[in-house]
Structure 1
Amino acid sequence: MWSVDPRTGKRRERVTDEATPATVDAAVRAAHEALPALAERTRRAAFLREAATRLEAGGEDIIRVADEESALGIPRITGELGRTTAQLRAFADEIEDGGYLGVIIDHADPSLTPPRPDLRRYKVPLGVVAVYAASNFPLAFSVPGGDTASALAAGCPVVVKAHPDHPATSELCAAALRAAAVATGLPEDTVSVVHGFEAGVELVKHPLVAAAGFTGSVRGGRALYDAAAARPRPIPFHGELGSLNPVVVTPAAAAERAEEIGTGLGGSMTLGTGQFCVKPGLVLVPEGDDGDRMLGVLADSLRATAPGYLLDDRMRDAYLSGVAARGALDKVEVPVAAGVGDEDPRSVRPGLLTVSARELDGKHELLLEECFGPVTVAVRYGGEEDVDAVLGRLAGSLTATLHVASSEAQDGTGGAAAALLSRLTLLAGRVLVNGWPTGVAVAPAQHHGGPYPATTSTSTSVGATAVERWLRPVAYQDTPEPLLPPELRDANPLGLPRRVD
C-alpha cells in the first residue's frame, strides 16, 4: 500500500503490503485468542486511557502524516486527535460505570401468575469485531476511532481494515494502540490492522468475526452488509452508508434572519471541503424575496470560499461529474458553478444548484442523493404541500434541520413548526432546530445514525450507547449464587448500577 498526497497526487511512501487471506485469518484468530484477556473491566479501562495517552504522545507525527495523506489541514486534524482521545477516555469512564451492562435482577416470586423463577440478565461481548475505517476521518472514524473504542469497551478484540487513503496514519495509530495493550497487560493482537480491498471482503466472511462496523459509501457498505447477511451464520453489520441531511427553512425564519441562515449554510456545507457525513445536501427554501435574499448571501459566501482538496482523485472526479450531471438536469439552475480551482487544478470550488419544488419530478432523483463534496441543492417551495411532497420522497438521513423564527420557536400549541419537526423526525436520527448538523458532539445523549441508507441498524456510532452494538443479552435462570457472574450476585461486589425486582 502506498501513501498518496492528495494535494499533488504523488506517492509519498510505500507503507505495507496488501493483506492476503492467510494474513487476515491470522489476524482474526489472534484477536479471538485475546478475547478472554479483555474480560476484566478495570484492565480494559486502563487500556483505553493508555491508548489515548500514547496517541497524544505521538501526536506531532500522527497529525503531520494524517494531513499529508488527507489534505484536511493541521487545525482540523489536531481537533480530530483531541476528539479521538476524549472518545477513548469517555469509553473508559463508561466501562467503570458499568451501566452499559444493563443488569436486571428479578428474584423468584411463586405468588405471581404464572410463577416467576429467579432471573438475572446482563450483557456480554459478541466476540471479534471487524471495523472498516472511514476516508474522511483518518483518526476519529478510523483505526483509533469510535467503532474501535466502543468495541474494545464492550470487551471485543478488533481487527481494522484500514482505509487506502491514509495507510501510514493507520499504521502509526495501530502501533500506539498495540503498545498500549501490552503496557496494560493485554495481548498485542487485541487490536490489529489489515490493508487492501480483498482483506475487507475476507474479514466480513471470517467465521470468527462476530460483528462489523462500517463508515463509507452506499455501494461499498451495501456489498459488505449483504455479505454479512449471506454468511452461514449471519452477523450484525452496523453500517453508515450515505446521508442527504435535509434542511427546511420556514418563511418566517427567512424573513427574520435570511443573512444569518445563508452565511451559516455556506459555512456548514463547505466545512472540510464538504466531506462530512452530516453535510447539508438539500435545503428547502421559501419562494419570494426573503428566500432570494438568503440564497444571495449563500451564493456570495460560496464564491468567497477558497478552493479545497478532496481526499483522493476518485472522490474529486466523482464530485465534479456528480455536480455536472445534476446541473444538466432540466429546470435546474446553477447560481454558483462548482469546478476546479483557478490556480490549482487539483483543488475544487463549491457549487450551488436550485430547482423549484413543483418542477421536481422522477427525472430529478439524482438531486435527492448525496453528492460527496462542497455542493448543496436548494429546492424552492411555495407552500406546505410542496414541503410535504419533497420530504415524502427522501430516504433516511443522519440529520434533519429545521430553521424557524423566534415566534415559531415559542409556539407550544402544536403549530406548523411542531408539525414540521415531527415530519423531520421520521427521516433522521438527529433533529436540529436553528443550527447546523456539521459537528457531532461526543456525549452520552448523542445519536449518530438514522433510517436506511444513513445506517443499516438503529444504533449510534457516536456517544456512550455506541457500545451496545457489540453486546448481547444473557439471562440466567435459577442459577446458584456461587455459579453466577459477579455482576449478577446479590451482594453486588462490583458496585454496578442495577434494576432489582
Structure 2
Amino acid sequence: MTWTPKGKHLIAGEWIGGGASFASDPASGPSHRFASGSAELVDRAANAAEDAFWDYAATSRADRATFLEAIADEIEARAEAITAIGTQETGLPEARLQGERGRTTGQLRLFADHIRQGDYLDRRHDAAMPDRQPLPRPDLRMIQRPIGPVAVFGASNFPLAFSTAGGDTASALAAGCPVVIKGHPAHPGTGEIVAEAIDAAIRRTGMPAGVFSFIHGDRHEVGQALVEHPAIKAVGFTGSLRGGRALYDLCAARPEPIPFYGELGSINPCFVLPEALAARGAEIAKGWTASLTMGAGQFCTNPGLLVLRSENADAFAQAAGAALTDASEQVMLTGGIADAYRDGAARIADRASPILETETEGRNARPAIYRTTAEDFIADETLGEEVFGPLGLIVTTRSDDEMLDLARSLQGQLTATLQMDGRDTPLAARLMPILERKAGRILANGWPTGVEVADAMVHGGPYPASTNFGATSVGTLAIRRFLRPVSFQNMPDALLPEDLRD
C-alpha cells in the first residue's frame, strides 16, 4: 500500500490544513510538510469532543468494544504503509515497528474484551432497609462513569503503542471518553495515518465524529491550549520530566484543576545481590547490557542504574564493557534526543569513572558505561537523573546496609529489579519494603525492558516516574484513570445507567 501524508489535522471527521506548517525530519526517506496546530484548532476539537461526549458516554459497552476492534482492524489494513512511514521517520527497524503495531492493536482488543466483561464498572448495591432503626437506609447503587473529553500527548519513543491509538487513547475510548490527540512532531506521518484509521473506524461503526481529533503539534502553544481548555477533563502524557512537569502545573492551576497522568522519567535500578553476582556475574552483565542498549536505550524502562557489592565488581564491570566494546551505532529517534544523550553522558562523565566511553555525531548513539560509589551517588543527586539513551551507571556498595541506604535515597521509579539466588533471600527481603515504596513494578531475575500488556501490569510509580502513583498507563487498570464513581440513591430503574438496572 502506497501512502502519502495529507499534512493536515483531523478535527471531528474533517481534514483541515492551511496556515503555518513545519517539515518532518525523517531518519531516511523524503521529508513532508505538515500543518501546524493552533489554539483555535484545539478549541474546535475540544468543543466537538464535548458535544460528542453526551452520545458517546451513553453508548453500550458492546458498541464501544466493536468500535475499538474496528480501529484495530483499520490499523492492520494499513500495516505496510504504517511500517514504511514509521521506519522512515523514526529510524526504528521494521521488526520493531511491526511488533509495536501488534501491541497497539492488541491493546485495543484487550480493552474491548475488558469492557464487554464489565468488571471495571465496580458496580455496588446496598439495598434499602426501610424498617431499620433508628433510621431507615435508602437504596444505594454505585457505578463508574466516564469523566469527559481526554487530551493525549503522543510519545516520541513509541510512535504507535504510546501515541495516536496507544494505551491512553484505547483506555479513554473504552471508558466512554472522547479523545483529542496532540501528535508528536518526531513522527507526524505515522500519527496521521493512524488517525486516518481511527476516522475510518468511526465512520464504519457510526460513532459521533467528535469522538476523536488529531492535531499536529510542533508548538508549545498547542499543548498549553489543550490542557487549559475547559472541556478537557484529564490528560495522558508520556515524555520528559521538564515538559511533563510544566503541563502538570498548568493542569493544577486551572480554575477547575484536572488530573494529569504523566510518565516522566525513571532510571529503573537493578540490584545484583552478592550470591548471584558471585555465581553468574558474567551472565548478568550480558543480560544487563542487552537490555540497556535495546532500541538505543530509548525505553522508559531502560535499566540505567545497576547496584552491586564491591566484591566481584571489577570483573562485572570488565564483562559489561567487553560486551559492548564492538557495539555499532544506533539511530536515535530525533537529532535533539541524540544531542541530549551526549549532554547527559558528558554530565555523568564529569562525576563518575569511565568503563566504556564512545563518541558519535548527528542522530547516532553508541553505549557508554560509568562507575561510581554508593557514597558519591547518594551525595550527588544529579547522578540519579535519567539519561535517555544507552548509558549505564554501575554503583558499588561496601555493605548490605549501604545498599539499603542507596535504595532509600532513590526517587520514584517505574521499575526496580533484583538479580538474586536462593541464598540472597534474606537481603532481598530487607530490600523489598523499600522497593515497594519506590517503584510500580518489581522484578526478580529478569530485565525491565518489555512491558507486558495484561490485567496485572503496573506501568507507573511514585514521582518523578509518574505524576499519579495510583495509576498505570499499561494494562486494563489504565481505564480507571478516565472514570469516576457516581452513587444513585432511591433512583427509579428507568433513570439509572443501563448497566445498573435490575
TM value normalised by structure 1: 0.92
Displacement of 1:115: 4.0
Query: Is residue 371 of structure 2 the alignment partner of residue 354 of structure 1?
Result: yes
Indicate how the Cα distance of structure 1 residues 361 and 89 shifts in structure 2: closer, same or farther if over 3 A, else same: closer
| Worse-superposed segment, 417-426 or 221-230 | 417-426
Indicate how the Cα distance of structure 1 residues 361 and 482 shifts in structure 2: closer, same or farther if over 3 A, else same: closer
Matches of 1:132 and 1:71, distance apart in 2: 21
**Corresponding residue of 2:14:** none
Matches of 2:135 and 2:376, distance apart in 1: 62
Question: What are the within-5 Å matches in structure 2 for residues 209-220 of structure 1?
Answer: 209-220=232-243
1:477 to 484, 489, 500: 489
CA offset digits 1:391-433 (Å, max 9, x no partner): 222110000001111333xx5xxx2221112221111000001
Query: Is residue 309 of structure 2 the alignment partner of residue 283 of structure 1?
Result: no
Contact 2:140 2:489 in 1 (8 A): yes
Query: Is residue 143 of structure 2 the alignment partner of residue 122 of structure 1?
Result: yes
Displacement of 1:303: 1.5
Amino acid of the structure 2 residue aligned with 1:386: E
SS in 2 for 1:93: helix
Matches of 2:446 and 2:399, distance apart in 1: 22
Indicate how the Cα distance of structure 1 residues 121 and 348 shifts in structure 2: closer, same or farther if over 3 A, else same: same
SS in 2 for 1:214: strand
SS in 2 for 1:473: strand
Displacement of 1:314: 1.1
Matches of 1:3 and 1:474, distance apart in 2: 45
CA RMSD, Structure 1 to Structure 2 (Å): 1.5
Matches of 1:46 and 1:300, distance apart in 2: 51
Matches of 1:297 and 1:404, distance apart in 2: 18
CA offset digits 1:101-145 (Å, max 9, x no partner): 111011012436764321000011111000011100000000010
Displacement of 1:382: 1.2
Matches of 2:323 and 2:99, distance apart in 1: 24
**Corresponding residue of 2:19:** none
The number of residue pairs the alignment matches comes to: 475
Displacement of 1:358: 2.9
Displacement of 1:360: 3.2
Matches of 1:141 and 1:360, distance apart in 2: 32
Indicate how the Cα distance of structure 1 residues 407 and 210 shifts in structure 2: closer, same or farther if over 3 A, else same: same
Contact 2:414 2:440 in 1 (8 A): yes
Amino acid of the structure 2 residue aligned with 1:389: D
Contact 1:339 1:350 in 2 (8 A): no
SS in 1 for 2:36: coil
Structure 1: any 5+ residue segments left out of the alignment?
491-501
2:107 to 71, 84, 87: 87
SS in 1 for 2:71: helix
Query: Is residue 291 of structure 2 the alignment partner of residue 268 of structure 1?
Result: yes
Matches of 1:421 and 1:30, distance apart in 2: 48
Displacement of 1:2: 2.0
Displacement of 1:284: 0.4
SS in 1 for 2:190: helix
Query: Is residue 334 of structure 2 the alignment partner of residue 312 of structure 1?
Result: yes
Amino acid of the structure 2 residue aligned with 1:179: A
| Worse-superposed segment, 466-475 or 318-327 | 318-327
CA offset digits 1:171-207 (Å, max 9, x no partner): 0000000110110011233111112221111000101
Query: Is residue 378 of structure 2 the alignment partner of residue 378 of structure 1?
Result: no
1:293 to 311, 315, 324: 315
Amino acid of the structure 2 residue aligned with 1:13: H
1:28 to 46, 52, 61: 46
Matches of 2:89 and 2:245, distance apart in 1: 26
Amino acid of the structure 2 residue aligned with 1:210: K
Contact 1:338 1:375 in 2 (8 A): no
**Corresponding residue of 2:278:** 255
**Corresponding residue of 1:424:** 435
Question: What are the within-5 Å matches in structure 2 for residues 177-188 of structure 1?
Answer: 177-188=198-209
Matches of 1:334 and 1:307, distance apart in 2: 19
**Corresponding residue of 1:172:** 193
Indicate how the Cα distance of structure 1 residues 477 and 253 shifts in structure 2: closer, same or farther if over 3 A, else same: same
Matches of 1:5 and 1:488, distance apart in 2: 50
Displacement of 1:11: 6.3
| Worse-superposed segment, 190-199 or 208-217 | 190-199
Question: What are the within-5 Å matches in structure 2 for residues 125-140 of structure 1?
Answer: 125-140=146-161
Contact 1:106 1:120 in 2 (8 A): yes
Amino acid of the structure 1 residue aligned with 2:31: R
Matches of 1:68 and 1:265, distance apart in 2: 29
SS in 2 for 1:443: coil
Amino acid of the structure 2 residue aligned with 1:37: D
SS in 2 for 1:398: strand
**Corresponding residue of 2:72:** 52
Query: Is residue 99 of structure 2 the alignment partner of residue 102 of structure 1?
Result: no
Contact 1:245 1:400 in 2 (8 A): yes
SS in 2 for 1:431: strand
**Corresponding residue of 2:5:** none
Matches of 1:164 and 1:215, distance apart in 2: 14
Displacement of 1:486: 2.1
Matches of 1:6 and 1:385, distance apart in 2: 47
**Corresponding residue of 2:95:** 75
Amino acid of the structure 2 residue aligned with 1:273: A
Matches of 2:363 and 2:123, distance apart in 1: 54
CA offset digits 1:11-54 (Å, max 9, x no partner): 6111x211121111111111222213322222111111011011
Contact 2:317 2:355 in 1 (8 A): no
